């Protein structure tokens, strides 16, 4: 009589390696896509030479990897010199009232328009309310130039 033969076979080495190869290929592909910038999420400044918040951009480029020569302004001081904000202060108008909201919007538009004019002639890639270099070197401040543009817009 012959001993019974087993119908269960040990898995071959090839059948255990194939799923591992596929997993490795998927992981490698995901890693390469991340390194090549295929990530649809916008860069918020981490890993670039600049530190900023996206909502601090007034005009120009906003992607951190595109920035080369940004400028900054003291936005609050520019807003204070507009006739609209002066009218709010002089007339003691509540900024949250309908008239105050209209005047604040007009003042912000005046500052933004002056920043856009300065942006087009100055050669900067963008103008920001707040932006810093990670290495600590200074960002060009164009507040005085924008202030002159606001004053010039009042005489037109």
Same domain, 131 and 86: yes
| Predicted TM-score (pTM) of this structure | 0.66
Same domain, 34 and 61: no
Give 57-100 pLDDT, tens digit per residue.
999 998 888 888 999 999 999 999 999 999 999 999 998 999 99
Query: Tokens for 63?
Result: 């992607």
**Cα torsion at 133, 138, 139, 141 (round to 10°)?**
150
* Element at 107 (helix H, strand E): helix 98-122
- The answer to whether residue 2 is domain-embedded is no
Same domain, 140 and 112: yes
Give 113-126 pLDDT, tens digit per residue.
999 999 999 999 99
Same domain, 107 and 72: yes
Total residue count of the chain as it appears in this document:
156
Domain membership of residue 34 as a residue range: 11-41
Model confidence at 45, in pLDDT bands (50, 70, 90)? Answer: very low
Asked if 60 and 126 count as a contact pair (C-beta separation under 8 A), the reply is yes
Asked if 67 and 151 count as a contact pair (C-beta separation under 8 A), the reply is no
Given a cut of 80, whether residue 47 has pLDDT beyond it is: no
């Amino acid at each position: 009589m012959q001993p019974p033969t087993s119908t269960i076979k040990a898995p071959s080495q090839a059948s255990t390696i194939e799923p591992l190869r596929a997993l490795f290929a998927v992981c490698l592909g995901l890693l390469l896509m991340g390194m090549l910038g295929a990530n649809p999420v916008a860069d918020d400044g981490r890993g670039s030479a600049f530190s900023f918040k996206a909502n601090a951009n007034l005009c120009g480029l906003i992607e951190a990897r595109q920035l080369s020569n940004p400028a900054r302004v003291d936005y609050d001081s520019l807003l204070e010199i507009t006739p609209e904000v002066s009218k709010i202060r002089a007339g003691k108008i509540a900024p949250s009232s309908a008239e105050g909201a209209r005047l604040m919007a007009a003042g912000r538009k005046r500052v933004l328009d002056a920043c856009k004019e300065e942006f087009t002639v100055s050669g900067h890639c963008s103008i920001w309310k707040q932006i810093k270099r990670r290495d600590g070197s200074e960002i060009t401040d164009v507040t005085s130039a924008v202030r002159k543009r606001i004053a010039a817009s009042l005489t037109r």
